[in-house]
Structure 1
């Protein structure tokens, strides 16, 4: 299963240890990676690729849809805040690239951004 997903086996064991992946055990205690576990691991991988931390992934894999949606909505809000912050940074950098002032504090627009106004 690790090869199919393109991850190391220790990654699967780690996901299991933090509660992001549930793997059935056989009578001898060996892990059984069946179709359900494979699909769950694919979901973990997708969620990691879009930026969820392992604790967030584990919470998003909650048994109730409402709990999972709460985690996803919180991540959406955090990403939207990050996007807004990065847009402000781009606006500031564009201005500084064209600004006629040599030092940031000499320009009212730059100084306002730097000082958080």
Structure 2
């Protein structure tokens, strides 16, 4: 059993973050007889999972759903996040293509370049 301070130090997050996760239902933490939070190994592993899901971009509501007991619910959330990330990758690749063109463009102003105008109208 570990305290919130020990777990927050181990995970590299503030104790207030662990309290917030508990408050919003992303993490369930048992209490001792004095009302102090106590973290067993299983709770620490769930906290690690919450942290990992947050680091890959899931919001706390998405984390709660992704950790749902019903596998189909969790999979739907993860699939939706994958789709959103793939869309973001596509948009960023398009941005890189546009920016690379502007660096290499022979025109002084973007308004003078037909290719730049094409990029602008495609967005």
Same fold (TM over 0.5): yes
Matched, 1:91 2:94: no
The runs of 5 or more residues in structure 2 that have no matched partner are: 1-6
Q: Using the alignment, how far apart are the partners of 1:36 and 1:64 within structure 2?
A: 19
The match for 1:11 is: 17
The match for 1:41 is: 47
The match for 1:101 is: 107
| Residue-by-residue CA offset, 1:56-100 (whole Å, 9 max, x unaligned) | 112211111111111111110000000000000001111111111
Aligned residue-pair number: 117
Using the size of structure 2 for normalisation, the TM-score is: 0.87
Aligned positions of 1:23-42 closer than 5 A: 23-42=29-48
Q: How far is the alpha carbon of 1:39 from its aligned partner?
A: 0.4
Q: RMSD of the TM alignment (CA)?
A: 1.4
Q: How far is the alpha carbon of 1:28 from its aligned partner?
A: 4.1
Q: Using the alignment, how far apart are the partners of 1:105 and 1:63 within structure 2?
A: 54
> Greater CA deviation, 8-17 or 19-28?
19-28
Matched, 1:111 2:107: no
The runs of 5 or more residues in structure 1 that have no matched partner are: none
